[in-house]
Structure 1
Amino acid sequence: MFIEQAFRGKHDFWLYLVGSLIVALAAVIGQIPLTVAIILENGWEASTMSQSQMMQSLDPNLLIFLLLLSFAVGFIGLKIALKYLHHINFMTITTIRKKVDWGRVLLGFGLIAVFSSVSILIDYQSNPENYGWNFKPIPFLILCLIAIVMVPIQTSIEEYLFRGYLMQGFGVLAKNKWFPLMMTSIIFGLLHIANPEVDKLGYLILFFYIGTGLFLGIITLMDEGMELALGFHAGNNLVGIILVTANWTAFQSESLLKDVAEPTIGFDVFLPLLIVYPIFFIIMAKTYKWKNWKEKLFGKVEAPAEIIN
């Protein structure tokens, strides 16, 4: 099963802590080009500017590219951890299948991409005063090229780190499945605490991030692989960054629309957790005939017999 694949390599929990530090260090190194670009643009005045002022001083497409670049460098850090600390490869933390099931990736991508696109279109038609049309042909084309290449990298490293690497690490530590599911979801949610959305909407929005992490973790455990989560996360972020952004979100791009409404925490924030995600669960469960929910989400984690022998 998925978590038990960790036993194929070195799996002492301290190795996962060191590996996480390596990934974090790689991501920090990946932020150097962004820091250099901000200094070149603003000179030493950058030291007196707020983070939002520094970000707004760069061309939006350049900013998006440099922000996403750090995630690509983070991938290198994870590869180093897997190869030299655990002696396993990416497939070990991706899926129990012999190769990546791209049909599952496309299903996860399609479900959220269609839902998000339709939701944005309906809201735009119903509340046009909340949006500003922002279409600029050349900048938008450049954004699409950057997003199509870089956004899947950003979302994939997050999935590999939380739903793959740490899911297996916490599972080996706790010898059960519910603990890694909860821990990775909570850590995933809390790491968004520095996002400008939290500053604008308050800490209540963290329940959405934690709930989304829980959703991604459940579909990973039930499906014995990350393909659905990889596609879902990529679809969610890609649609968002291309179709609509706001001046208070983590990614501010040359999107088609700009949300100019004053943000508030309402039922719409919890709608995915209470209604949309459960519907996605049903679709995925029916499609892939998921069974043994109790065992897959709350069962024990033990080294497979073939590895012990």
Structure 2
Amino acid sequence: MFIEQGYKGINSWWRFAITTVCTAGIFIGNYVLYLMMTAEEMEKVYQSMSNIPANLSLVANLIPFAFLLGLLFLLVRNLHNRSILSLTTARNSVDFKRIFFSFSVVVLASIVVFVVSYFVDHSDVIWNFNPAKFFVLFLISLLLFPFQIGLEEYLFRGYLMQQIGIAVRNKWFPLVLTSVVFGLFHSANPEVARMGFGVMFFYIGTGFLLGIMTLMDDSLELALGFHLGNNLMAALLITSDYSAIQTDALFRYSGVENPVDILNEMIVSIVIVYPIILFIFAKRYHWTNWKAKLTGRIQPQNLQNAKTTENAPNNI
């Protein structure tokens, strides 16, 4: 019933257009700019950004997400006349244990993979720890990354998934579309320009992973936890010159990036690691009926139920 939560609000086309343009503007702008600029111009932009102190650059990158997430909530609540709870889950309340469990799984997996790879070959990995800078990075990450991942999840897996789903009356199309668009909107990241468009398969694959979590669990909770854990590890554990966001992480990769090796690592993540993570969640939360959950149609008899079951005073 997650997609059907969209029927709890007012869904005029112009309300959808206003909300989408206002909240997805940062992604649309980046993508249009990326398409218009040459490779040389993009390299100059990345070079100028690398000259900004890492923590200051991180704050500048993350602050807009806080305002946009607040704007999304404001528009959903007042323009669509919906609760934020209906945007989050089909259950009666938010299950914070799910968020914490998903967060813990990805953090533990990231640390284990890093430790194993470090002991296999750490010739290009250098200790980068600066206590003062890392402490500031840690505070910035804890304070601002929840807004960044919150906007992306509530926008793509929440708002757009639901609005597109109730428009087309099925589940597979919003899953595919939001996953592809989620990937494309990351195309302006430095690693895409430097290693080729093949990197986009990783972003799109990650979009599918998060979308499957959302539809199978009827909520954003697992996707929120996974996305937050992933981004925190990317910021705190190891950084490199071609990372999307430069940080004062514990370690720095000092070698020359090899597109083939990096693409192989991404393929391993999509083909092996992601299915394992889904298997863990499926066992823990007893997921069943995958075909109907991921590709089924939205049944008309559910629509009135979705409209009438909301108890507004008790919602977030």
The answer to whether the superposition gives a TM-score over 0.5 is: yes
Q: Does 1:277 align with 2:289?
A: no
What is the rounded CA distance, in whole Å, between the counterparts of 1:27 and 1:181 in structure 2?
Answer: 18
Aligned-pair distance for 1:13?
Answer: 4.2
**Conservation of the 8 A alpha-carbon contact between 1:244 and 1:256:** yes
What is the rounded CA distance, in whole Å, between the counterparts of 2:243 and 2:124 in structure 1?
Answer: 15
2:59 to 61, 65, 78: 65
Structure 2: where are the runs of 5+ without partners?
30-40, 309-316
**Conservation of the 8 A alpha-carbon contact between 2:216 and 2:287:** yes
**Conservation of the 8 A alpha-carbon contact between 2:4 and 2:306:** no
| Larger RCO, structures 1/2 (Cα 8 Å, 6+ apart) | 2
Equivalent residue, structure 1, for 2:286:
289
What is the rounded CA distance, in whole Å, between the counterparts of 1:135 and 1:124 in structure 2?
Answer: 16
What is the rounded CA distance, in whole Å, between the counterparts of 1:115 and 1:201 in structure 2?
Answer: 25
**What CA deviation, in whole Å up to 9, does each residue of 1:18-57 have, x standing for no partner?**
211111347899xxxxxxxxxxxxxxxxx9x932233123
Equivalent residue, structure 2, for 1:101:
95
Normalising by structure 1, we get a TM-score of 0.89
**Conservation of the 8 A alpha-carbon contact between 1:27 and 1:73:** no
Cα–Cα, structure 1 residues 126 and 80, in superposed 2: closer, same or farther, change >3 Å?
same
What is the rounded CA distance, in whole Å, between the counterparts of 1:306 and 1:160 in structure 2?
Answer: 23
Equivalent residue, structure 1, for 2:110:
116
Aligned-pair distance for 1:300?
Answer: 1.2
What is the rounded CA distance, in whole Å, between the counterparts of 2:199 and 2:28 in structure 1?
Answer: 25
**What CA deviation, in whole Å up to 9, does each residue of 1:205-224 have, x standing for no partner?**
10111011001001100000
Equivalent residue, structure 1, for 2:305:
306
Percent of aligned pairs with the same residue? 39
Q: Does 1:190 align with 2:150?
A: no
Aligned-pair distance for 1:122?
Answer: 1.7
Cα–Cα, structure 1 residues 198 and 27, in superposed 2: closer, same or farther, change >3 Å?
closer
What is the rounded CA distance, in whole Å, between the counterparts of 2:222 and 2:290 in structure 1?
Answer: 17
Paired AA for residue 66 in structure 1:
A
Cα–Cα, structure 1 residues 284 and 308, in superposed 2: closer, same or farther, change >3 Å?
closer
Paired AA for residue 295 in structure 2:
F
**Conservation of the 8 A alpha-carbon contact between 2:28 and 2:185:** no
Aligned-pair distance for 1:155?
Answer: 0.9
1:262 to 256, 263, 269: 256
Paired AA for residue 260 in structure 2:
I
Equivalent residue, structure 1, for 2:37:
none
What is the rounded CA distance, in whole Å, between the counterparts of 1:123 and 1:97 in structure 2?
Answer: 40
Equivalent residue, structure 2, for 1:249:
243
Equivalent residue, structure 2, for 1:170:
164
**Conservation of the 8 A alpha-carbon contact between 1:188 and 1:209:** yes
Paired AA for residue 19 in structure 1:
T
How many residues of Structure 1 are paired with residues of Structure 2 in the alignment?
291
Aligned-pair distance for 1:308?
Answer: 6.5
What is the rounded CA distance, in whole Å, between the counterparts of 1:127 and 1:220 in structure 2?
Answer: 36
Equivalent residue, structure 2, for 1:32:
none
What pairs with 1:14-33 in structure 2 (closer than 5 Å)? 14-25=14-25
Aligned-pair distance for 1:162?
Answer: 0.5
**Conservation of the 8 A alpha-carbon contact between 1:23 and 1:74:** yes
What pairs with 1:28-43 in structure 2 (closer than 5 Å)? none
Equivalent residue, structure 1, for 2:33:
none
Q: Does 1:158 align with 2:152?
A: yes
What is the rounded CA distance, in whole Å, between the counterparts of 2:307 and 2:186 in structure 1?
Answer: 39
SS of the equivalent of 1:194 reads: coil
**What CA deviation, in whole Å up to 9, does each residue of 1:274-304 have, x standing for no partner?**
1111111111111111111111111112352
What is the rounded CA distance, in whole Å, between the counterparts of 1:17 and 1:248 in structure 2?
Answer: 35
Paired AA for residue 56 in structure 1:
S
What is the rounded CA distance, in whole Å, between the counterparts of 2:183 and 2:50 in structure 1?
Answer: 26
**Conservation of the 8 A alpha-carbon contact between 1:134 and 1:256:** yes
What is the rounded CA distance, in whole Å, between the counterparts of 1:308 and 1:92 in structure 2?
Answer: 11
> Which moves more between the two structures, 61-70 or 15-24?
15-24
Aligned-pair distance for 1:167?
Answer: 0.3
SS of the equivalent of 2:123 reads: helix
Give the alignment's Cα RMSD to 1 decimal. 2.0
Q: Does 1:135 align with 2:129?
A: yes
Structure 1: where are the runs of 5+ without partners?
30-46
Cα–Cα, structure 1 residues 294 and 14, in superposed 2: closer, same or farther, change >3 Å?
farther
Cα–Cα, structure 1 residues 269 and 25, in superposed 2: closer, same or farther, change >3 Å?
closer
